[in-house]
Amino acid sequence: MTLNTFNFYTTHGIRFGNGQAKDSCKEIFKQLGTRILFITDKGLISLGLTKPTIEELKKMGSVEVFDDVEADPSKKTLLKAIDAGKKFKATGVIGFGGGSSMDVAKLAALILGSNEDLEKAWGVANAKGPRLPLALVPTTAGTGSEVTPVSIITVGAEEKKGVSSAIILPDLAILDPELTLGLPAATTASTGIDAMVHAIEGYSSSNKNNNVISKMLAIEALKLLGGSIEKAVVDGSNVEARGNMLIGAMLAGKAFANSPVAAVHALAYPIGGTFHISHGLSNSLVLPYVLRFNSVDLKAAKDYAELAPYVFPKLDINKGTQAVCAEFIDKMEDLSKRLGLPQKLREVDIPKNACEKMASDAMKQTRLLVNNPREVTEKDAFNIYQSAW
């Protein structure tokens, strides 16, 4: 095998196991200092999921809880979190929750540690740092944000911007399956599909940093996710399935953190930004249509066919690349149906006449589109949305 030149970055420390959110508090304080800004959302506070961790942390030092994070967090929310951290004189930051809380925590740690201009940090490798010490605790098995160098924030009414920099990879990721036991079935399904998309797009990315480590991690992620997602959706109390989903999402995060995602995500962002559909569901809605568009490219078809048996072990891989690729895409679509997720844009109240504007907005996601196996024009994006409608 001829290997290309590549870089691989990841989170320094990972802790996995039931109860780790509480049991890792001593290590958190050792790394983050005695004044911790704890970033989460009001839903997790009301469910009591944050209580054991916060109470344990308060035995060791001072904790300032910022719980104003919303889905698709806004720049306004991020700036409020930063302001709270400045007033508190935080020595470290914890992001506890889904991708939204972790994304806010990453950039709060960056700005609190460096006081750099946020507007100059947007984009790839523009953040300068340093940042404050940072720990991330996911409560969903989807984004993999605890091991990615990416933070996505909604700016203005609809547009999303991202910071992508190894500087915002956390010092510590704490994976506690017990925190995910209460996830509703629909959230489990949509975040799980999101993690699968990360693995699929990371494996097939045309980015020059696509590498053998990312490919290996994507395969292992899909084994775990494909083998556990239906169990986790049907029986939310299945802690083994929950653990497999959490590890699978993390491995997929490591994969796409170094071999970046592409057109599925680029076309998902306008759905979430304009119509406030969750990120995972937005990905799920366009996934089969983007994969079919890409499958015209022979290398993409080969990549999808290679992944097929890891997700669907009973699939006949002796049919030839195009046939296996086509069946893989059909089976991913069928999996989404079995999980009870909406299948068409119209099912989530997106009007057909929105396809034109979404296509235009998707073209702004240049940092993602450049990684797609096949070039996507605005007309292509429009046709994909039309098919998904």
Domain boundary among 131, 149, 179: 179
Average pLDDT score over residue span 369-389? 98
Is residue 246 a contact partner of residue 175, using CB atoms and an 8 Å limit? yes
| Amino acid making up residue 28 | I
What is the rounded CA–CA span in Å between residue 189 and residue 229? 7
**Can you give the pTM of this predicted structure?**
0.96
Asked whether residue 268 falls in the same domain as residue 344, the answer is yes
Residue 373 shares a structural domain with residue 281 = yes
- Rounded Cα–Cα distance for residues 313 and 364 (Å): 38
In a domain, 21, yes or no: yes
- Let me know: does 258 contact 9? Beta carbons within 8 Å: yes
pLDDT digits (tens, 9 = 90+) for 140-150: 999 999 999 99
Q: Name residues whose C-beta falls within 8 Å of residue 331's C-beta, 6 or more positions apart in sequence.
A: 308, 311, 312, 315
Q: Which of 297, 90, 286, 60 is nearest to 194 (CA)?
A: 286
Cα distance between residue 36 and residue 134, in whole Å? 9
Cα distances (Å, whole numbers) of residue 184 to 98, 188, 191, 262: 13, 6, 11, 28
Whether residue 163 contacts residue 109, with contact meaning beta carbons closer than 8 Å, is answered with no
For residues 191 and 277, state if they share a domain: yes
pLDDT of residue 302: 98
pLDDT at 119: 96
Q: Which residues contact 272 (CB under 8 A, 6 or more apart)?
A: 72, 160, 278, 279, 282
| 242 and 369 inside one domain | yes
For residue 122, the domain's CATH number is: 3.40.50.1970
How far is the CA of 337 from the CAs of 93, 192, 317, in angstroms? 39, 13, 23
DSSP string, 58-102: HTTSEEEEE-B--SS-BHHHHHHHHHHHHHHT-SEEEEEESHHHH
Write down the residue that tokens 């996710």 correspond to.
225
Same domain for 174 and 188, yes or no, is no
**164 neighbors 150 (Cβ within 8 angstroms):** yes
Taking only the tens place, the pLDDT of each residue in 228-251 is 999 999 999 999 999 999 999 999
pLDDT of 157: 76
How many folded domains does the chain comprise?
A: 2
| pLDDT category of residue 156 using cuts at 50, 70 and 90 | confident
Distance of alpha carbon 22 from alpha carbon 20, whole angstroms: 5
- Closest C-alpha among 106, 92, 182 to residue 143: 106
Q: For residue 272, what are the domain limits?
A: 184-388
Q: Are residues 170 and 311 in the same domain?
A: no
What is the C-alpha to C-alpha distance for residues 86 and 191, in angstroms, rounded to an integer? 32
- The pLDDT > 70 percentage for the chain reads 100
| The pLDDT value given to residue 191 | 96
Distance CA 129, CA 118 (A): 11
Question: Which residue, of 159, 179, 199, is where some domain finishes?
Answer: 179
Q: Are strands 62-66 and 35-39 parallel, antiparallel or unpaired?
A: parallel
Note whether 193 and 155 are same-domain residues.
no
CA-based diameter of the chain, in Å?
Answer: 63
Segment 250-302, tens digit of pLDDT: 999 999 999 999 999 999 999 998 999 999 999 999 999 999 999 999 999 99
Both tokens of residue 273?
A: 């930004």
CA distance linking residue 241 with residue 235, whole number of Å: 9
- Report pLDDT for 158: 74
Token digits for 305? 């066919």
pLDDT of 1 over the 70 cut: no
Q: Are residues 167 and 235 in the same domain?
A: no
Mean pLDDT of 58-83: 96
Q: What is the mean pLDDT of residues 146-170?
A: 91
What's the confidence (pLDDT) of residue 56? 96
Are residues 264 and 283 in contact, defined by beta-carbon separation less than 8 angstroms? yes
* Nearest of 221, 259, 245 to residue 339 by alpha carbon: 245
In-domain check, residue 7: no
Structure tokens at 351: 């009007």
Domain boundary among 179, 203, 223: 179
Across 60-80, average pLDDT: 95
Strand partners, 13: 172
Average pLDDT over every residue of 184-198: 97
Token reading at 143: 């984004």
Same domain, 122 and 215: no
* Helices and strands (H, E) in the chain, number of each type: 17, 9
The CATH number linked to 323 is 1.20.1090.10
Q: What is the mean pLDDT of residues 336-340?
A: 98
Q: Does some domain include residue 105? A: yes
Cβ-Cβ contacts under 8 Å for 9 (sequence gap 6 or more): 149, 166, 169, 257, 258
